[in-house]
Amino acid sequence: MKIHSFSDFCDALSDCGFSMGGGNAKGIYSVIPYGWEQQDNIDSPVKWHTGNPETDPWEWRMRVLEERKDIAYSKVFFRASGFITKDWYEYFYAVRRRGYSFEEAYADGMINRNEKRIYEVILENGETAFHEVKQLCGFSGEESSKFEQAVIDLQMKMYITICGRSRRINRRGEAYGWNSTVFTTVEDFWQARGHDLKSVSPELAYNKIMEKEYSLNPNAKLKTADRFIRG
């Protein structure tokens, strides 16, 4: 279907179940198949980085989190952003987590110490902005790259996810600066939206996603399709 608005985007995403977050399909699939570099040659009202909430896909990544109860957005595919609907999230969750709790994953060496620091802060504090997580964890400026890598790794492993945005608050209680991404645990994200993640066999989940991938992109390479699923 042609996408002309935020509503069209949500309808299309509900049909396909998952999508890369930007205009690059990365060899799999993207609801919006072009980025801002190509949009001048595209005959569509949908344009990147215009600030129009109805026609700017950059705005839609936050709108789905703020207005929808059935769509997640986070860095979940190829360490880049992506959308997953609730029904399909359960399948990715089953493959990525394989039934492990955070404590079990850490005990088995699947989670490193930096990831553990970050996860425990978010678990304890609930919804927490990126800059607040870094401060509460005590990461220094020299550790910024390690901190950012660990935040992405936790999203890829589906232990935390983006739940919104916020701005810094000064001593007078006034917001200032750019918006900061807010994170929560995956379980809290869905529970806040009235959903519990059902238990699904990882093998069944993998096969279901693979079948759907090839229905969306019959030309996908198997190695790329596998990496898309497993993270």
pLDDT per position as a tens digit, 144-187: 999 999 999 999 999 999 999 887 776 766 666 677 899 999 99
Instruction: Tell me which of 8-17, 35-44, 197-206 is least confident.
Output: 35-44
Please count the CA atoms within 13 angstroms of the CA of 53 that sit on its side-chain side.
5
**pTM metric for this prediction:** 0.94
Other CB atoms within a 10 A radius of the CB of residue 169 amount to 12
Helical ranges in the chain per DSSP H = 6-16, 57-67, 86-97, 102-107, 113-125, 130-137, 144-156, 186-191, 202-216, 222-230
Provide the pLDDT for residue 179.
78
pLDDT value, residue 141: 85
pLDDT digits (tens, 9 = 90+) for 176-193: 667 789 999 999 999 999
Q: Which residues have C-beta within 8 Å of that of residue 1, sequence separation ≥ 6?
A: 8, 11, 12, 15
DSSP, collapsed to helix, strand or coil, labels residue 73 as strand
> Whole-number mean pLDDT of the chain?
94
Query: Where are the domains positioned within the chain?
Result: 1-98+199-231, 100-196
- Return the CATH number of the domain spanning residue range 100-196: 1.10.10.10
- Percentage with pLDDT > 70 across the chain: 97
